[in-house]
Amino acid sequence: MTPPPAEAAVTSAALAPATAREETPFRRFVADFAESKVAVGAFVVFVVIALLAIFANVIAPQNPYDLAQLDIMDGRMPPGTVGGAGFTYILGTDDQGRDMFSGILFGLRISLMVGAGSAFIAFIVGTSLGLLAAYFGGRTDTLIMRLVDLQLSFPSILVALMILAFLGKGILNVVIAIVVVEWAYYARTVRGTALVERRREYIEAAECLALSKPRIVFRHLLPNCLPPLIVILTMQVARAIALEATLSFLGLGVPVTEPSLGLLIANGYEYMLSGRYWISFYPGIALLVTIVVINLVGDQLRDVLNPRLRK
């Protein structure tokens, strides 16, 4: 479920501002995006990572959380060892005898799900509030924007820590924490864009037609505010994944039964000092690649979707 919403949103965003023109906006968007080889490469890697995560249970040689498949005798094997079950542990095993490669695939799944899921919920919450602030103005605007200011004046880790200290750990609580941390970015961005857009003629026209307010806001105003939001959404997915990994590493994030990459890294931490680097190192590389690749795609999206940079 991870990549499709973002991708679908990207396409509709590219379509939205250019529907007036006759050329196909999607093709132009793809052509613009493909100008950077690095971004295309990053996108391909991201798709591969997402597929690996989605089909983890098919690809992984072992279900790392089915105790019947684990052999404690295979614990802490270095990469390349052939285990008792007959297949090679290409990335070694952890202290419980889990195949690290399988563990990473299942961990990726949790990391991506939590990251993309919470970034998307934050997107919906933040965008709705930002649009309300811009369209209604006055007290609504002051109240919402003061909240945004307050939220942004505290660092993300502190807010997340506070929430998890009260709610305890668990996937849902991590999602709540990330949404609380991230919504303000969307709200601030969409308000800025929407304030400009709402003075345009098409909004005036819609108001003259006496369309309902929700319809004007969500059918007319929102689609024209989407491009900068898409960029933020991409970047925030990467930030959400990093934040979730950090919280899980600190032992405040996901439970042991559903380990994300961050928790895998934390599990291997104590063995790293004794030279068994692979238990932490490979999940770390998976995390690194995921975050960097999403950022590279986001960077190119920003260039493509920014009207000021358009040739």
Instruction: Summarize as ranges the residues that interact with other proteins (CB under 8 A).
Output: 150, 153-155, 157-158, 161-162, 164-167, 238-239, 242-243, 245-246, 249-252, 262, 265, 269, 272-273, 275, 277, 280-281, 284, 287-288, 291-292, 295, 299
Buried (b) or exposed (e) across 187-204, using 16+ Cβ within 10 A? bbbbbebbbebbeeeebe
**Of 117, 119, 109, 115, whose CA–CA distance to 258 is shortest?**
109
> Closest approach of Cβ 163 to other proteins, in Å?
8
Cβ-based nearer residue to other proteins, 12 or 306? 306
> Closest approach of Cβ 147 to other proteins, in Å?
10
In the numeric block, which tokens belong to residue 153? 């004046």
In the numeric block, which tokens belong to residue 9? 């949103």
Cβ-based nearer residue to other proteins, 299 or 303? 299
> Closest approach of Cβ 169 to other proteins, in Å?
9
CA–CA separation, 249 vs 265, rounded Å? 7
Neighbouring residues of 134: CB distance < 8 A, sequence distance ≥ 6 = 141, 190, 191, 194, 195, 198, 221
Secondary structure of residue 89 in the 3-state scheme: strand
Cβ-based nearer residue to other proteins, 44 or 150? 150
DSSP symbol at 99:
B
Cβ-based nearer residue to other proteins, 113 or 226? 113
CA–CA separation, 31 vs 35, rounded Å? 7
User: 305, 14 in Cβ contact below 8 A?
Assistant: yes
82-90 long-range contacts, CB within 8 A, separation 24+: 85/61, 87/61, 87/62
> Closest approach of Cβ 153 to other proteins, in Å?
5
Cβ-based nearer residue to other proteins, 220 or 276? 276
In the numeric block, which tokens belong to residue 52? 């690996």
Q: What are residue 89's DSSP bridge partners?
A: 81
Cβ-based nearer residue to other proteins, 55 or 269? 269
Secondary structure of residue 87 in the 3-state scheme: coil
> Closest approach of Cβ 68 to other proteins, in Å?
31
Cβ-based nearer residue to other proteins, 206 or 245? 245
> Closest approach of Cβ 245 to other proteins, in Å?
5
> Closest approach of Cβ 246 to other proteins, in Å?
5
